[in-house]
Structure 1
Amino acid sequence: MSVHHHDICALIERLDKLFHLEKEAYTKFLACRGAAAQQLLDLLQDLLDYDVDPATIDTRRLFKALIRLSANSKLYPRCLTLTGLKQKRLVAGGSFGDVYKGLLCDQKVAVKMMRVFKKSDIETILKEFGKEALIWRQLSHPNLLPFFGLYYFQQRLCLVSPWMENGHLRVFLEGKWYDTDYLLSLILDVALGLQYLHDKGVVHGDLKGDNIFVTSSRRACIADFGLSSIITSVSSIQFTNSSKPTQGGTVRYQAPELLQGGHSDLHSDIYAFAGVAYEILTGTPPFPDLRMDGAVINAVLAGHRPPQPKSCSGTPSLDALWNLLQNCWEKEPATRPTAAQIVQRLMHPDIRATKTQSTTDWDNLFTSRLRRHLASRRPLPSFSKFERIIYGDSY
C-alpha cells in the first residue's frame, strides 16, 4: 500500500491535537495497559518511523506521549527488537560487554552485547533500558550515532548501531598527528551533538573518548548515552567485569558533585565535555600523570584541574579554548556554560572552530528509512483506529 506524505502529516496533526487539546482522551490513552497499550505503542512508533522531515512536521507531542505510555505500561514498541542480523563476528570486549560486527540489510552494524546471561537479568535490564532505548530511537543528528534497536544473541541482550570503521576517539587519535583546525572541528562536532541532546532534555551521563566515534568522513558523533546509569541502577545484575564506575561514569571525566555521590545532569555533561576536548587536543584522558583513579578523585575534590599542556597553548585560538575548558570545569555546576553557549564560543572568531562537512554519513531521515525497510509495509493506521483502541472498543 502506498503511503502519501500528506496522509502521514494529516494523521500526525490529528493525534497532536488529541494529545494537546482533548484532555479526557489523552488521560484514557495514558491509562491503557496490556494489549491495548502494546497496540498503541506499536502504531505510534510506526507512525514516527515514516519518512517525515522533522523540520516540517512537529512530532514532539507524539514522542512525549510514546515515552509516557511506555513508562506507565512498562512496555515498549515491539519493533525495537530486531531480527535478521547476519555474520556476527567478535571484534572487541570492554567493561560493558562484547562488540560484534554484523550485517543488517546489507548495512554494516556494531552489535554491543551486554554481559548478562540469565533471562531474568535480561528482563530486568530491559525494564530499566526501555525508556532510554525508546528515546535514542527517536533522536537523529549528524553528530549522534544512530540507534537501530535491540537484538537477542546467544540469550543475551544487544544494542545495534552503525559500524564505525574509524573506531572511537581514543583509537582514532592514538599515535597520529592532526592539525589544530581539524581537532577544533572534532571538538565542535561533540559540542553540537551534546547541544542537540540537551535541547531534547537528554543527559548523556558518560561522555568520554570511548563513547565518541569517528565516521567515515572523519566527523565525531556521540554514542551510548544513558547506558552507564542503567548498569549502575540495576544493582542485582552481576557483570563479568568486576570494576564498577562511580555513578555510571568514568572518573577522569566526572564532575566533583558526581564523585561525592550526586547524579548526572546537564551540568555534569558539560564538565565531561571539557575532558573530551582535552583528550582530543592531547591524545590522552585528563590527568595522564595520575595512574590511579583514587588519586584523580582526590585531586578533583581538592580543586585541581588538568594543567594546560603545550599542545593546548601558543595561539590565540588555543588560549581562548583553554579558557572555555576552565569554565566547563568550574566547581559550581550552575556556573558552567550550557552546550549552546559552548557551540557559540567555539564558532566565535576567538576560536574559529568549523563544522565537519559530510554528505556520506547520515541525514535526518537515515534511521527512519532503514527501520521502514526492516519492517513490513503495514498500512497507515487510521485516526479512528487509535480512538477505538483508546476507548476500548472491540480491540
Structure 2
Amino acid sequence: MSYRDPQLLDYHADSAPTNRRRLFKALQRLSANSQSYPTCFSLNDLARERLVAGGSFSDVYSGYLRGQSVAVKMMRVFDGTDVDEVLKEFGKEAIIWRQLCHPNVLPFYGLYTFLGRLCLVSPWMENGHIRGYLKRETYDTDQLLSFVLDIALGLEYLHAEGIIHGDLKGDNIFVTPSRKACIADFGLSSIITSMSSVRFTRSSKAERGGTARYQAPELHDGGVNSHCSDIYGFACAVYELLTGTAPFPEIKIDTAVAMAVLRGERPARPPSCCGTPALDGLWSLIEDCWQQAPESRPTASQVVERLQGGDIAATETNPNTRDWDEEFTSRFRRQLHPFFVPSVAEFDRVISTTGQFIRVYCQVLATYQLWP
C-alpha cells in the first residue's frame, strides 16, 4: 500500500511548525508500520543522459526531469526482492529528506526505479564535488575557511533535524552554482547497510555503510553511526580539503587504517594548515573533532561557533545568495506530482482492500493528535 500524504507538507509550507513536526512523526511511523513508502516519491518522465561516476554501491548518471538537470544515483540492487527490502528501511529517511531545506544541504526530489534498480534523484551540481573543485580552481585561505563553515552549518542543520550523515567526505560535498559547499547523500549509509544485510543474510557479518578512512574508531570497533561519529567524519573531510587526499594516504590498506585509528593514531598536520592564527585555530578544532572518545568531541553547533569566532573568524559563502529555497523545491515537486484527489471508487477500493493499513494510519494520527 502506498500513500501521498507528504504532498500536504509541500502544499502547506506555511503551516504551523508544531503541526508539521507532528505530521512528520506520523508519516515516519506509518512508513515503518506499513513497510511502504509514499507514491509521491516515485518520479516519472526521467531521462538518463550519461554515466558520470561509479562506486561499490551505486552509479551516478546525469539526467533531465521536466527540463530540470538532475543527478540520478542508481543503487546497485539486483532484483525486485532486494528493492522491496531496502525500501522498507528507506521510507523513514525518504520522508525526512524530502522536507529538508537549507543552503548547505542538497535537496532530495524523489525516487525512481530503472531495470529493478532504486534511484535517488537530486539537483545536478555542475561544479561537481568539492575535492575536484579545489583542484581546478584558485582559492585563498578565507575561501577555504568559508567552505569549512558551510559544511559545518549543513551538518548542524542535519543534526538538529535528527539526521546522522554517516559518510561525510569530499565525494559527498558539492559546490553549488553560487559557490557554496553543500552536503549530499545524508543518511545514505543506512541504505547501503540495509542492502548489505539483504545480500549477506547468510553471512556472519555484513558490510557497513561509510568509508573506512573517514570512520570514527568506535565504528571500527563494532559501533553504530552517531552525531559524534559524524563530527569525526567532519574532521577527516576538512583534512581532505586541506591536503587533496583522503586521511592516511601513506597507508595503502583500509584495514591497516582501521587498526591505526583504533590505536589512537591520526593524520599528521599538513603544511597547508600552518602559518596563520586562523589555520592554527582550524587545526586545533580538527584535533578536538577526531578525539578518540566520542563524548570528548564537540557538537556541530559548537563547531560552528568556534569556526565563526576566535582566531578562525570564518564567514559563510555568499550568505545573501540562495541556490534553492523551500518555495522553489516545493513548487518543483508539485510540478512533478500534481495534487491528487482520489475518486469515490478509489476510496472504496482502498477501504475494502487495506483495512489494516487504514487502522494503522488512524492509530498513528491519534497518537500524534492529528486526528481528534
TM range (shorter): 0.7 to 0.9
Please state if 1:203 is matched with 2:195: no
From 318, 338, 348, the counterpart of 2:279: 318
What is the CA distance between 1:255 and its match in structure 2?
A: 0.6
| Separation (CA, whole Å) in 2 of partners of 1:165 and 1:93 | 17
Please state if 1:50 is matched with 2:11: yes
What is the CA distance between 1:89 and its match in structure 2?
A: 2.3
Please state if 1:287 is matched with 2:248: yes
Q: What corresponds to 1:170 in structure 2?
A: 131
| Separation (CA, whole Å) in 2 of partners of 1:349 and 1:327 | 15
| Separation (CA, whole Å) in 2 of partners of 1:351 and 1:114 | 39
Q: Secondary structure of 1:264's match?
A: coil
Q: What corresponds to 2:86 in structure 1?
A: 125
| Separation (CA, whole Å) in 1 of partners of 2:247 and 2:144 | 16
| Separation (CA, whole Å) in 2 of partners of 1:203 and 1:272 | 11
Q: What corresponds to 2:266 in structure 1?
A: 305
Q: Size of the alignment, in residue pairs? A: 344
Please state if 1:277 is matched with 2:241: no
What is the CA distance between 1:154 and its match in structure 2?
A: 2.4
From 328, 334, 338, the counterpart of 1:376: 338
Deviations 1:132-178 (A, max 9, x none): 12221121111111000110122321110000111112221235442
Q: Secondary structure of 2:151's match?
A: helix
Percent of paired sites with the same residue: 61
Tell me the amino acid that sits aligned with residue 257 of structure 1.
E
Q: What corresponds to 2:101 in structure 1?
A: 140
Check whether the contact 2:77–2:195 (CA below 8 A) recurs between aligned residues.
Answer: no
Runs of at least 5 residues in structure 2 that lack an aligned partner in the other structure: 348-357, 364-372
Runs of at least 5 residues in structure 1 that lack an aligned partner in the other structure: 1-33
What is the CA distance between 1:87 and its match in structure 2?
A: 4.6
What TM-score, normalized by structure 2, do the two folds share? 0.86
What is the CA distance between 1:359 and its match in structure 2?
A: 2.7
Q: What corresponds to 2:211 in structure 1?
A: 250
What TM-score, normalized by structure 1, do the two folds share? 0.81
CA-based RMSD of the aligned residues comes to 2.5
| Separation (CA, whole Å) in 1 of partners of 2:16 and 2:139 | 35
From 70, 88, 100, the counterpart of 2:49: 88
Q: What corresponds to 1:158 in structure 2?
A: 119
| Separation (CA, whole Å) in 2 of partners of 1:125 and 1:258 | 22
From 95, 103, 110, the counterpart of 1:149: 110
Tell me the amino acid that sits aligned with residue 333 of structure 2.
R
| Separation (CA, whole Å) in 1 of partners of 2:77 and 2:330 | 30
Q: Secondary structure of 1:59's match?
A: helix
Q: What corresponds to 1:366 in structure 2?
A: 328
| Separation (CA, whole Å) in 1 of partners of 2:288 and 2:187 | 24
Q: Secondary structure of 2:301's match?
A: helix
| Separation (CA, whole Å) in 2 of partners of 1:176 and 1:305 | 28
Check whether the contact 2:192–2:208 (CA below 8 A) recurs between aligned residues.
Answer: no
Q: What corresponds to 1:11 in structure 2?
A: none
Deviations 1:327-348 (A, max 9, x none): 1011110111000000010000
Distance change (3 Å), C-alpha of 1:81 and 1:163? same
Check whether the contact 1:86–1:104 (CA below 8 A) recurs between aligned residues.
Answer: yes
| Separation (CA, whole Å) in 2 of partners of 1:276 and 1:245 | 25
Distance change (3 Å), C-alpha of 1:55 and 1:348? farther
Distance change (3 Å), C-alpha of 1:54 and 1:130? same
